[in-house]
Each structure stands twice: as structure tokens, then as C-alpha cells.
Amino acid sequence: MSSAAHSSHKTSPELLLQLAGITKKFGPLIANDAIDLKVHKGEIVALLGENGAGKTTLMNILFGHYVADEGTVTVTNRDGNLEQLEPGAPQAALDAGIGMVHQHFTLAENLSGLDNIVLGTEPIFRLRRDRTAARAKLADLMSGSGLNVDLDQPVHKLTVGEKQRVEILKALYRDARLLVLDEPTAVLTPQEADSLFVILRQLAATGLSVIIIAHKLAEVLAVSHRIAVLRGGKKVGEMQTSDADHRSIAELMVGREVPVSRRTERVPGAPVLRLSDVTIDRGDARRSLHGVNLTACEGEILGIAGVSGNGQAALAQLLAGLDKPDSGIVEIFEAIVTKFDAHKFAQNGIARIPEDRHHDGMVGSMSVAENIAIEDVRSKDYQKFGFLDFAAIRKRAEQAIKDYDVRCPGPGAPARLLSGGNIQKLILARVLEKSPKLILANQPSRGLDVGAQSEVHRRLLEARQNGAAVILISEDLDELLTISDQIVVIHAGHVSKAIPTDAIDRSELGLMMAGQTKTYTQQAQTSNTIRQGETP
């Protein structure tokens, strides 16, 4: 597809946007260092870089959320003249035809899609609203671009993909000439992502310019015309997508070679976790499970694939001991669990890596050392005469910081000062140090850069090698296919049969995540029978 699309793209000389010498400092941190970037009409530019490379900062400057310390943003205005954009004024960016779709959507959930789109486009002091013209224009936009969505629904009733469409329509409704998408595929299924790319290509063909911020290579290679790579706040490379090669860009982004973790063959042992017909009904699809059967064995990584909000939260809560099933049986270490208690679960060797590491994984105002010891404060090792033994806590923290390479000012530093990757290392240090038998890893590498991601994978594979069962909940297919031994798909609270990773077809998996097929049932059943034979 990509070659055909490339040929259809005419190398249009008309310049639309020019960023020149943009520099932005946050205290001692240089988020953007003299960055230049040009975007032409009808061009899709991918802005690639690790977390913290400065992509989002740059786009926030473009959109007027931040003011650059140095440098200028110039836009060719609708009359064809170059015009410098007023810094720090989102309204100026909107007027110039720049529309931004943030990674975290800026939609008012209680309002309808239509309300969200027309918000701020009408004169504010008027006695009535007239929506006829708006509806007509949106109907045109939708039929022209394929961005179909029910605009009269309150936004909280829409799926993530639909919300994103509302965001894009919001920009197009304001006659955007440049659309900036921040990590647009992070929340989409592979199918949704593909259809988004088709839509973007169509829009580009009609003259819309697009900047896609991304850290996943494969995607931008498929959709973009040109790639710019940022690292450490500097632009380190720029090329036509047709000339780009996967490996060299990856190294350009990271600045060094990235070790790739691969799992090795291993025969799974006795079952560690078994769910039989477990149902949790909370009336809300995100928090419910329906008749779930699941087995995880020693020395294997069981991947739970699914689009977020399909019951993963319920499963994670259950396995962390924070919720109990309405019906069904949970067996852990071949004993039926009767008391669901988070503390007890942790004591019994269940390691939990929570989804929201900032919120659930640590206490920001407490020190790194305290955060590492927090699950074990009742243990005798960290007590002296009934009081906390800070020397022992500090000693363990120092060891953990060294072993897990947690970059921090010291064990006494407040944990909130750490970056996302280092917080994750801190959590790994806390839970893996105790050689757990069962590890619940919920989105363990989401939002991490490639380096930290490969570290998380290495640690999980190491735990698997040491005989732990790992439940890996993830939306990232690459991650699931790289390190899990078997994969189940979770959709609307239902969990499919386990499929050996080697027997999986990627697009089929995407369809299952979207709840569209049960092709694997047959095949999976066979594999399950074999497995049951192995582990009676």
C-alpha cells in the first residue's frame, strides 16, 4: 500500500508551516533545542522520538499552549502570505487553521459530539443556537472523509475510536489546514488504526497537511511522506519515508543499539493460577467479567490482549485481591481462594505491577526507599521494637536502586520526581526482588520509551525463566507477540481460549480484539486439551 500511496503524492512545493529555531527550557531541562521543521501542503509528516524527546512540547508551542523561549512559528495564511503566529495564543493557531488532536482527548464527556465540535465557533453572546448550518457542514465532512460518528450521543457513550473521530472533525469543522495528531494510535485497535490511516491519506490527498507524533515505527512508515526524528530535544534526522529504513531510524531515535528481548523455549510447569467460570458483574462493561476460564502455569507468560476497557480492569482488580468474583472459582497455587484481600495476596507471593503506575503504583510524596518497602512494612525485617527500621529500609533501597538501575537523586528523594520509566523500575524492584510465583503485569511498558520497555521485557522474561507465571495485560500487540507464550483475547468481559503465540496471525488477533470473530476457538481447544494433558 505504501508505494502506491507514495506515488500518488505529488511533491508539492507549497510551504504551509515553518518552525524555525524553536527552543524551550523548563528549568535546567532543554525540552526543545533549536528545532527547525517545515510542512508542505498535503503532506503527512511523522515526528518520531522517544518519550521526553520533545515532540509534544514542540507541538504545544505550535498550538500556543506553551510560549517558546526562542524561535518563530510561521504559517502561510489563507491569502498565501507568510505570517508569524502569535506565541501563546491557541486562538491564533486555530484561526491560522492548525487543529490538534491531543493524546488525551479534550472533549467534554457530558456534552454531545456536536456540542463539542461547535463549542467556541459561534459568537458566544447570542440568544439562540442555530445548528442547521453546522449539521450540514459536518454531514459533508463526514461523507467526504469517512469519519462517521453519531454526533448526537453524549461523548461518554462513544468508543475511543469514535471520540478520536470527533476530535478530528472538530479540527476539520474549523477548516483546519494542518492537523496535528499526538500518538493517535496509542488507544486504537490495529483495525481502527488502519482505517484512521486510510482516512488521513484521503484527507492529505485533498490538501490537508498532517503531523503525526509517534514512537512506533511501523505505523509511520505506512502512512507518512516524510519523517523527522527528535532525540533529547534536538532534531537528529529527517528523511523521505521512501528512503527510510526501520533499523536506522530506531537507532536514530534511541541513540544507541536497542537490545531485543526474545523468549526462549521453555516447558510450562504446574498451574499457578486457574479461573473457572468467573463472573463479576458490575453493570459496566469495563468492570465486568463473564464466565472467564483461564490457566497460567509456572514458567510461562500468558498475554491478555484486548482494547482497554473490555474487562482488563476487573481482571486486574481480582488478581490483585481488590475485588471478589460474584460467582466462579479462583485457584491460586492449587488452593481455592476464599478471602480476597490485597495484603494477603501480596504476602503470598503475588507481584502486582499496576496499570497506572503514578497513581496506584507509588506514593509520590514518599521517598524512593519508602516506596520500595511499602508492601513489606509489616515484616520483621523492616521493624525494630515495633518501629520502622529506616536503616534496613534504606539499605534495601540502595541495593534495589543499584540492581534495577533506578535513576534518582537517592533513596531519600520523593518518588514523584522520577520519570515514568524509573518509576516502573522502582516498582519492578519492589515486587520482583521477592521472587514472586505469580506476576500480574498490567500494561507494564505503556508510555515507556524503547530503552525502558526492553528493560521491563527482560525482567519479565527473567522471572519466567525462574519459574514465575506472568499475566501480561497489554494493548500492544508487538509486546504480546514478542514475550508471551500464549495469548488470550479479552473482549466485553469475555475471554477467549488460549492460543500459542507461534500460531497467531496478527490481523486475526486484531479482529478478535474488536470482537468480530471466533475463528480460533477450534484451534485453541485442541491446544488446551494438550495442555491439560501436560498439567493435570
Partner 1 sequence: MEIIDILLAASFWEAAIRIATPLIFGVLGALVCERAGVLNLGIEGIFTAGAMAGWMAVWLGAGLWGGVLVAALAGGFFGLIHAILTVPLGLSQHVSGIGVTLLATSLSYFTYRTALPDVSSPPRIIPFQPLDIPILSDLPFIGQALFSQTAMTMLALVLVFVTGWVLYRTPLGLAIRAVGDNPSSVEAQGLSVYGLRIGAVVVGSAMMALGGAFLTMSAFDAFFFGMINGRGWVCIALTVFASWRPGKALIGALLFGAFDAFQVRLQTEVGAFFPSQVFLMMPYILSIIALIVVARKADYPKALLVPWFKGQR
30 φ/ψ sector (left φ>0, alpha ψ -120 to 50, else beta):
beta
Residue with smaller CB distance to partner 1, 106 or 327: 106
271-280 and 387-388 as β-strands: parallel, antiparallel, unpaired? unpaired
- Contact stretch for partner 1 (CB under 8 A) within 75-83, 116-124, 260-268, 393-401: 116-124
Residues between 394 and 413 with contacts to partner 1, criterion CB under 8 A? none
Out of 13, 28, 123, 536, which residue is the one contacting partner 1 (CB under 8 A)? Answer: 123
Cα four-point dihedral sign 317, 319, 322, 323:
positive
Is residue 154 part of the contact set for partner 1 (CB under 8 A)? yes
Residue with smaller CB distance to partner 1, 24 or 274: 24
Residues between 450 and 469 with contacts to partner 1, criterion CB under 8 A? none
Is residue 125 part of the contact set for partner 1 (CB under 8 A)? yes
Do 473 and 313 form a contact (C-beta atoms < 8 A)? no
Give the separation between CA 39 and CA 24, rounded to whole angstroms.
Answer: 20
Residue with smaller CB distance to partner 1, 111 or 366: 111
Residue with smaller CB distance to partner 1, 281 or 331: 281
Is residue 62 part of the contact set for partner 1 (CB under 8 A)? no
Give the separation between CA 425 and CA 400, rounded to whole angstroms.
Answer: 9
Rounded least distance, CB 156 to partner 1, Å? 6
Is residue 357 part of the contact set for partner 1 (CB under 8 A)? no
Element (H, E) at 308: none
Is residue 96 part of the contact set for partner 1 (CB under 8 A)? no
Is residue 68 part of the contact set for partner 1 (CB under 8 A)? no
Is residue 100 part of the contact set for partner 1 (CB under 8 A)? yes
Give which of 485, 480, 482 is closest to 510, Cα–Cα. 480
Out of 8, 72, 84, 106, which residue is the one contacting partner 1 (CB under 8 A)? Answer: 106
What is the length of the chain? 536
DSSP state of 261: P
Three-state SS at 116: helix
- Contact stretch for partner 1 (CB under 8 A) within 119-127, 416-424, 449-457, 511-519: 119-127
- Contact stretch for partner 1 (CB under 8 A) within 105-113, 255-263, 364-372, 396-404: 105-113
- Contact stretch for partner 1 (CB under 8 A) within 120-128, 189-197, 306-314, 406-414: 120-128
Out of 44, 47, 94, 423, which residue is the one contacting partner 1 (CB under 8 A)? Answer: 94
Residue with cell 467534554: 108
Is residue 55 part of the contact set for partner 1 (CB under 8 A)? no
Out of 28, 80, 81, 129, which residue is the one contacting partner 1 (CB under 8 A)? Answer: 129
| Cα angle 422-426-427, degrees, rounded to a multiple of 5 | 120
Q: What is the DSSP secondary-structure string of 446-483?
A: TT--HHHHHHHHHHHHHHHHTT-EEEEEES-HHHHHHH
Give the separation between CA 342 and CA 347, rounded to whole angstroms.
Answer: 9
Is residue 359 part of the contact set for partner 1 (CB under 8 A)? no
Is residue 339 part of the contact set for partner 1 (CB under 8 A)? no
Rounded least distance, CB 119 to partner 1, Å? 5
Rounded least distance, CB 474 to partner 1, Å? 25
Rounded least distance, CB 307 to partner 1, Å? 21
Out of 21, 120, 144, 409, which residue is the one contacting partner 1 (CB under 8 A)? Answer: 120
Give which of 430, 432, 424, 423 is closest to 462, Cα–Cα. 432
Out of 25, 65, 216, 531, which residue is the one contacting partner 1 (CB under 8 A)? Answer: 65
Out of 14, 36, 70, 109, which residue is the one contacting partner 1 (CB under 8 A)? Answer: 109
Q: Sheet with 98-101: list strands edge to edge.
A: 98-101, 178-182, 209-214, 44-49, 226-231, 234-240
Q: Give first-to-last CA distance, the chain, whole Å.
A: 48
Residue with smaller CB distance to partner 1, 154 or 309: 154
Element (H, E) at 371: helix 368-373
Out of 22, 37, 53, 107, which residue is the one contacting partner 1 (CB under 8 A)? Answer: 107
Is residue 447 part of the contact set for partner 1 (CB under 8 A)? no
Cell numbers found for residue 473? 495485560
Out of 16, 22, 66, 308, which residue is the one contacting partner 1 (CB under 8 A)? Answer: 66
Is residue 267 part of the contact set for partner 1 (CB under 8 A)? no
260 φ/ψ sector (left φ>0, alpha ψ -120 to 50, else beta):
beta
User: In the 3-class helix/strand/coil scheme, how is 40-73 assigned residue by residue?
Assistant: ECCCEEEEEECCCCCHHHHHHHHCCCCCCCEEEE
Out of 29, 82, 108, 139, which residue is the one contacting partner 1 (CB under 8 A)? Answer: 108
Give the separation between CA 9 and CA 7, rounded to whole angstroms.
Answer: 5
- Contact stretch for partner 1 (CB under 8 A) within 5-13, 123-131, 442-450, 502-510: 123-131
Q: Summarize as ranges the residues that interact with partner 1 (CB under 8 A).
A: 60, 65-66, 90-91, 94-95, 100, 102, 104, 106-111, 115-116, 118-129, 154, 156, 170
